[in-house]
Amino acid sequence: MPNHQILIYEPWCKGCEICIRICPKDVLALNDRGKVSIVDKDACIGCRQCELHCPDLAIRVIPDRPGKKEETPPEPVASEPPPAMLGQGPPALLGDKPIIKVMTGNDACALGAIAAGCRFFAGYPITPSSEIAENLSALLPKVGGRFIQMEDEIASMGAVVGASLAGAKAMTATSGPGFSLKQENLGYASMAEVPCVVVNVMRGGPSTGLPTLGTQQDVMQARWGTHGDHPVIVLCPFSVEETFFSTIRAFNLAEKYRVPVVVLMDEVVGHTTEKAVLPPASEVHVETRPRPTEPPERFLPYKHTESDIPPMAVYGEGYRFHVTGLAHDETGFPTNNSEEIDRLLRRINRKIERYRDEIVDVQTESLEGAQVVVFAYGSASRSAREAVRMARAEGLPVGLFRPTVLWPFPDKELVKATENARAVLVPELNLGMMAHEVEWALQDRSKVHKLGRVDGEPLPPTAILAKIKEVLG
């Protein structure tokens, strides 16, 4: 008589009775612990129905087939993995000498991305950002990168996160309505600490708003657009050349701090054609994410390290880690432990706060003796700079405070720059979004005046100058 072995691992059995019911020979029954057990072993015919239908991998049958050898499949062999990071070499498409180019901000953004080592772009067309995708669809195949036009912005952002986890420096570009759709998976990148760059060439909102006209109405969405307490860095260049450097910086910050970085351009910066000087390749500094040094057995994908930034492995290089958007512990697996959840949330937010001095960047002009400080960013700061120069030419005590990084907010720097000022003027292409933040940072130290515009037209320098004069009294 054949002697089929039936093996049961009780801790995994949930007593669902599928095996008992599917067995054609009534071999199995529930025991008094509510788990499956063998009641008539000799009746077993070795059909394995119980094993094949066990949802919990708790039962196994080793059939006894005298004279017949069980086929054992070949031992799996791992394939030779490609390099962990996709196509990382010296900055591409730059020369040994500076290159002078006349181009748009959207062109500069694409070139900056390639120089920074971006090798993956997924996007969905939307005015006024589409030229970034168009440029990269031509450039990425040349440098061994990947370009894909997805079915929507949600998918684009998902593909970017997937690509980054698999070892590509990755980016997407969009505008208002698309930026709204990106928020879901942008938050995922914040939570799972996946480096990536999201460009938003701002247009007028809300909703479909003003597709072809620039405003700055997404500065708060860029900081708080996705739900939950989350880390994010937001850059805001004001010229074509600065867009090139800001895009490189965006990748460097994303990689260094394992965080999504938003580059907020607007229609004016994206579509303005002007001169830009691109540096030689040797002068471009490129960062790559911190990488693990320990062997896979000891690797913790979300280790709480002294730096607050855990080293990052990528898929397919031997680490086989787990990533989730659920609250997780150092191992990367979901947790309900309140201490672990608190530790994670505080760490991912702290890692930006504690390095804010390295991240924040402010450009200033004629602040000395300034009674009025103009706080301006992005395209509005082009007019603001002009207005400040006009005011100075008339002998008025006015200075410019121009952050190229909006978030983290340059509060310390602003307090210092306005110590001796009577008032701060915030001209911006929205109804006073950053002015609120300026007020909050200054408390009652200086009076804050707003100058907002949302009709899609730029703020002319003369309008800002008039307001400066009004404030000076």
Partner 1 sequence: MNQTQPVTPYSDYLRLSKFPFIWCPGCGHGIIVQSFLRTLRKLGIHKEDVALISGIGCSSRAPGYLDFNTLHTTHGRAIAFATGIKLTKPHLHVVVVTGDGDAAAIGGNHLIHACRRNIDITALVFNNYIYGMTGGQVSPTTPKGMRASTAPYGSIDPPFDIAHLAAAAGASFVGRTTVFHTPQLDKLIEQALQKKGFSLVEVLSQCPIAFGRRNKIPQPFELMEFMKKGAVPFSKAKDMTPEELKGKFTTGVLADTDRPEYVEQYLKLCEKVQGS
Q: What is the footprint of partner 1 within residues 154-183 (CB under 8 A)? A: 154-168, 170
Strands 99-104 and 273-278: antiparallel
List the one residue from 27, 44, 50, 54 that touches partner 1 (CB under 8 A).
Answer: 54
E-strand ranges in 41-123 read 59-62, 99-104, 118-123
Site for partner 1, residues 268 to 287, rule: CB under 8 A: none
Q: Is there a contact between 143 and 171 (Cβ–Cβ < 8 Å)?
A: no
* Binding to partner 1, residues 74-93 (CB under 8 A): 74-79, 81-82, 86
Residue 16 CB, shortest distance to partner 1, in Å, is: 3
CB closer to partner 1 out of 334 and 432: 334
- Cβ within 8 Å of residue 38, ≥6 positions away: 6, 8, 27, 28
Alpha-carbon distance values, 371 to 367, 374, 398, 473 (Å): 9, 10, 6, 11
The least distance separating partner 1 from the CB of residue 347, rounded to whole angstroms, comes to 20
Selected from 4, 8, 241, 253, the binder of partner 1 by CB under 8 A is 8
33 vs 350, which CB is nearer to partner 1?
A: 33
**Residues in region 102-131 near partner 1 by CB under 8 A:** 120, 122
The nearer residue to partner 1, 20 or 463, going by C-beta atoms, is 20
Output the DSSP codes for 383-416: HHHHHHHHHHHTT--EEEEEESEEES--HHHHHH
φ, ψ at 271 (rounded to 5°)? -105, -10
Is the separation of the CB atoms in 267 and 201 below 8 Å?
Answer: yes
Q: How far is the CB of 61 from partner 1 (least distance, A)?
A: 10
Q: What's phi and psi for 358, nearest 5 deg?
A: -80, -25
Check if the beta carbon of residue 217 is closer than 8 Å to that of residue 429.
yes
Q: Among 26, 64, 152, 394, which residue interacts with partner 1 (rule: CB under 8 A)? A: 152
Minimum gap (Å) between residue 14 Cβ and partner 1:
4
Q: Which is nearer to partner 1, 4 or 453 (CB)?
A: 4
Question: For partner 1, how many residues bind (rule: CB under 8 A)?
Answer: 78
3-state secondary structure of 38: strand
Is residue 32 involved in binding partner 1 (CB under 8 A)? Answer: no
Whether the CB-CB separation of 96 and 81 falls below 8 Å is answered with no
Kindly identify the residues of this chain, within the stretch 331-350, that bind partner 1 according to CB under 8 A: 333-334
Choose one: 152-160, 270-278, 352-360, 369-377; the region binding partner 1 (CB under 8 A).
Answer: 152-160
User: Are 434 and 459 within 8 A, CB to CB?
Assistant: no
The footprint of partner 1 on residues 363-422 (CB under 8 A) is none
Nearest distance from C-beta of residue 286 to partner 1, angstroms = 18
Residue 5 binds partner 1, judged by CB under 8 A: yes
Tokens in use for 105?
A: 């901000």
Closer of 172 and 272 to partner 1 (Cβ): 172
Interaction with partner 1 in 174-233: which residues (CB under 8 A)? 184-185, 188
By CB under 8 A, residue 22 contacts partner 1: yes
3-state secondary structure of 129: coil
Q: What is the chain's length?
A: 473
**Binders of partner 1 among 300-329, rule CB under 8 A?**
315-316, 318-326
Q: How far is the CB of 41 from partner 1 (least distance, A)?
A: 9
Within residues 128-147, the interface with partner 1 by CB under 8 A covers 141-142, 144, 146
Pairing of strands 362-365, 398-403: antiparallel
Q: Of residues 43, 99, 148, 390, which one binds partner 1 by CB under 8 A?
A: 148
DSSP-based three-state secondary structure for 115 = helix
56 binds partner 1 (CB under 8 A): yes
